[in-house]
Structure 1
């Protein structure tokens, strides 16, 4: 199992694994939420040597970002609503623990609770909402 709380600072191998695995888990999250292909972007920004950078799943109604920005608080996944894939600042910030990446159904439930995305929606109804 991956250690989400092992710092990526000054550790290129850890950062590479962090990004690769987090990206893979966000793809699984998109599938769990029944997000149609093309209704979201998946981005990775490695940033500088002293930080983890971030991995972002940006749907037209949900913004989910993974990073080690809250290690001292135990948080590292930001979830908020948005109004389109060009909206980077919309809804209130909600944070959950990084280790929720090991429990995709629980993470999907948290995303649904905050954003409503994926709640009883079929892929075709999510596409119509785009």
Structure 2
């Protein structure tokens, strides 16, 4: 299991592991949500040496960003709705624990509850053109 509460600040090795692990988990999340290939972006911003940076999964109606911005509270996954992949402000912010990256089905359930992305969405093709 990854040590989510170990700070990336001034630790290049930890930051590299953090970004690699988060990208891998977000790919698993996309699969769990049945997001069609090409219907989402997966971006990584390593930022400066004093912070973790963030990794973002941006879908037509869901914006999920992972970073250590809530390390003291244990929260580090931002989930919100959006209107396409050019919408960077989206709906209200919701935060869940970084440790949810260790339970992808539970994280997917939270994403579905917050954004309405459905696992069996019969209109999944609509998300391809975002």
Tell me if TM exceeds 0.5: yes
What's the CA shift for 1:66? 0.2
2:81 maps to what in 1? 81
Cα offset, 1:119, TM superposition: 4.2
Counterpart residue number, 1:30: 30
CA RMSD of aligned residues (A): 1.0
CA distance in 2, matches of 1:117, 1:93: 16
**Could you tell me whether the CA contact under 8 Å between 2:61 and 2:115 is conserved in 1?**
yes
Instruction: Return 5+ residue gaps in structure 1 as ranges.
Output: none
Aligned residue for 1:44? 44
Would you say the 8 A contact 2:46–2:54 is kept in 1? yes
Q: Which residue of 2 aligns with 1:63?
A: 63
CA contact (8 A) 2:32 2:119 kept: no
Q: Which residue of 1 aligns with 2:15?
A: 15
In the other structure, the counterpart of 1:99 is 99
The size of the alignment, in residue pairs, is: 128
What whole-Å deviation, never above 9, does each CA across 1:90-109 have from its counterpart, x for those lacking one?
10000000000000000000
Residue 74 of structure 1 and its aligned partner are, at CA, apart by 1.1
Task: Tell whether the 8 Å contact from 2:34 to 2:119 is kept in structure 1 after alignment.
Answer: no
TM score, norm. by length of structure 2: 0.95
Is 1:35–1:118's contact at 8 Å kept on the other side of the alignment?
no
Structure 1 runs of 4+ aligned residues shifted over 6 Å read: none
**Following TM superposition, by how much is the alpha carbon of 1:57 offset from its aligned partner in structure 2, in angstroms?**
0.1
What is the distance in 2 between the residues matched to 1:79 and 1:116?
11
1:126 — aligned with what?
124
- How far apart are residue 25 of structure 1 and its match? 0.2
